[in-house]
Amino acid sequence: MTIRFDNRVAIVTGAGNGLGRAHALLLASRGAKVVVNDPGGAVDGKGGGHAAADKVVDEIKAAGGIAVANYDSVAEAATAANIVKTAVDAFGTVDIVVNNAGVLRDKTFHNMTTEDFEFVVKVHFLGTAYVTHAAWPIMRAKAYGRVVVTSSNSGIYGTFGQSNYGGAKLAVVGFMNALRLEGQKYNIMMNALAPIAATRMTESLMTPEALAKLRPEYVSPMVAYLCSEQCQRTGDIWSAGAGTFARIEYREAEGLRIDGRAPTIEDVAENIEKIADVSASRVFRTSGEEVAAVVSGS
């Protein structure tokens, strides 16, 4: 089986470097028409320019692919919508959205300004929502769409000094969980990527040995699969890095049930180890499934 994207239009945000560049190059090499979005700023989001996006577009064209550049920020609803407009103006539609754009402003929460917190959340979480919101009506109308949101092990597992980044990266999972239910009957598949890669945002944290293994292009095959017609999975979190691919899921312990009386604080304290024991656990695919299990006692 050879997976291709002929006649599909893809938007990749933050595609001027690192993971986004690798995603855009791979999709284009398999026939997708790609909007390469990047405002050209530094890792912290400051500054800007056209060079980063233009360079990737030139790479795609030199390899025989089709691409256009866009320099808008995802962090404002109007400019995010313009990214989708670029796709429609250039290629007539949009089939694929890879929400990859991101910034870092790492500090301990004690030393972080609220502006640094808000800006990181705005780019990662609201930026994902804004671009997806602009593309959503097009996908619904054509009953086809593939959307990837970019999460992170910093949100799923935690990283010191990244309360803003980690919070935003877990927020996009909650966003995906709702939209996968809303999009399913319109053949819109939503998935989350938790990449492990050496990029401008992570290279200062890694050893030379890790940098050699964690090439961004080793992540992109998972992204491309999630963007393909062949992908019929939706609502999952996928880890990818160094040639390793895995699904991540949340599990809920069997827990403790108290019937016939109101539970007390002491009930919780005396049974906390049983409540926390996940050796027997359950997986729920919707909040309603969890509520039904709790109410029924099953």
CA-based nearest residue to 46, from 85, 121, 103, 107: 103
First to last CA, the chain: 42
Q: Which class for 48: exposed (0-12), middle (13-18), buried (19 or more C-beta within 10 A)? A: middle
Of 157, 165, 225, 250, the active-site residue reads 165
| Cα–Cα dist 221/243, whole Å | 9
Long-range contacts of 110-114 (CB under 8 A, 24+ apart): 112/163, 112/164
C-alpha torsion 263→267→271→277, nearest 10: 20
218 is catalytic: no
3-class SS string, 73-134: CCCCHHHHHHHHHHHHHHHCCCCEEEECCCCCCCCCCCCCCHHHHHHHHHHHHHHHHHHHHH
Residues labelled as active-site residues: 165
